[in-house]
Amino acid sequence: MPAFHLVDAFTARPFAGNPAGVVVLDAGPVDATWAGLVAAEVRASETAFVHPEGETWRLRWWTPTAEVALCGHATLATAHVLFTAGLADPDAPCRFATRSGELRTVRRPGEDGEVIAMDLPAWPLASQLEPPELPAALGGAPGRYLGRTDGDQPNHVAEVATADALDALEPDLDAVRALGATGLIVTAPGDGDVDLVSRYFAPNVGVDEDPVTGSAHATLGPLWAGRLGRRQLVADQRSARGGRLHLDVGDDRVEVAGQAVTVVEGRLLAAT
């Protein structure tokens, strides 16, 4: 029976950050129908399915309702599981073959304990006219439209003036659905020791608000690095659970780093 783990990503303490299911299979391919049923049962924002494939690992992710092309927090969770279970060399990069190309993760010491750094493709913004549903999607809060990402997993991006305004945001999820993309990223300048803050809403894939979204920072990293004139940034996602991400922005890649903690270990008794 496949091993199952529930991991809180982008946090060093249980019951914070973003929970991800991680299913470790002895071999592939993954049965997509079964994976979708498992993800719907787990009800985390994403569940990862991983199996060895040559010298790499094949990695796919499902929300409770759909497969997605990239998920940062579930990649972090998967690397955490493989490293801690002794399935991957802790002193070498762990490489994943995915729909978004090869992803690499490494373990590094951090100020608050070990961190895992992921190398993700940058998803820059494309210029686009503001969709008419945006004011309603923001719940009537003042904000400005920044554009939309391209690719298999497009997101609209908007900005509000302050972190307090972001915290107070009450989006209209029906209007977010009507935007017609995977989700809506809302960002604001950071406060204190944080460079940027964000929230992410993706009801079209069964996630009303994602607690912490690594892949969103493949867009937010380049955006704020350009504004602030430096490549190393600290980001907070201001959901109820919350999480912190450390970013290092390159020309076409973004390193997203954080911590993770396992809260459940077991086995799936309903296998394929």
- The string of pLDDT tens digits covering residues 8-35 is 999 999 999 999 999 999 999 999 999 9
Residue 271 has pLDDT above 80, yes or no: no
Catalytically annotated residue among 41, 46, 130, 255: 46
Give the per-residue pLDDT at 108.
85
Q: Indicate whether 97 and 156 sit together in one domain.
A: no
> What mean pLDDT is predicted for residues 182-191?
96
pLDDT (tens digit per residue) in 133-153: 999 999 999 999 999 998 888
DSSP state of 47: E
Residue 257 has pLDDT above 90, yes or no: yes
pLDDT (tens digit per residue) in 112-131: 668 999 999 999 999 889 99
Q: Indicate whether 115 and 210 sit together in one domain.
A: no
Give the per-residue pLDDT at 110.
66
For residue 188, the enclosing domain spans 125-251
* Triad 82, 87, 88: Cα angle to 5°: 75
**Whether 33 contacts 61, CB under 8 Å:** no
Amino acid identity, position 227: R
Give the per-residue pLDDT at 201.
98
Q: Indicate whether 116 and 139 sit together in one domain.
A: no
**Whether 73 contacts 235, CB under 8 Å:** no
In the chain, at which residue ranges do the beta strands (DSSP E only) sit?
A: 3-9, 18-24, 46-53, 56-62, 67-68, 94-98, 101-108, 115-121, 125-126, 144-149, 155-159, 183-189, 196-202, 207-210, 232-237, 243-249, 253-258, 260-267
Q: Indicate whether 132 and 70 sit together in one domain.
A: no
**Whether 235 contacts 254, CB under 8 Å:** no
pLDDT band at 90 (very low <50, low <70, confident <90, very high): confident
Give the per-residue pLDDT at 224.
98
Number of structural domains the chain divides into: 2
Residue 231 covered by a domain: yes
Residue 202 has pLDDT above 90, yes or no: yes
End-to-end CA distance of the chain: 9
Q: Look up the pTM and report it.
A: 0.92
Residue 36, φ and ψ in degrees, nearest 5: -60, -40
pLDDT (tens digit per residue) in 208-251: 999 999 999 999 999 999 999 999 999 999 999 999 999 999 99
Residue 109 has pLDDT above 80, yes or no: no
Q: Indicate whether 178 and 243 sit together in one domain.
A: yes
Question: In sequence order, which ranges of 118-229 are alpha helices (DSSP H)?
Answer: 134-137, 163-168, 173-178, 217-228
Q: Indicate whether 97 and 74 sit together in one domain.
A: yes
Does residue 102 carry a catalytic annotation? no
Residue 272 covered by a domain: no
DSSP lists the bridge partners of residue 6 as 21, 264
pLDDT, mean over the chain: 95
Q: Indicate whether 51 and 145 sit together in one domain.
A: no
Query: Which CATH number do you get for residue 53?
Result: 3.10.310.10
DSSP lists the bridge partners of residue 104 as 95, 119
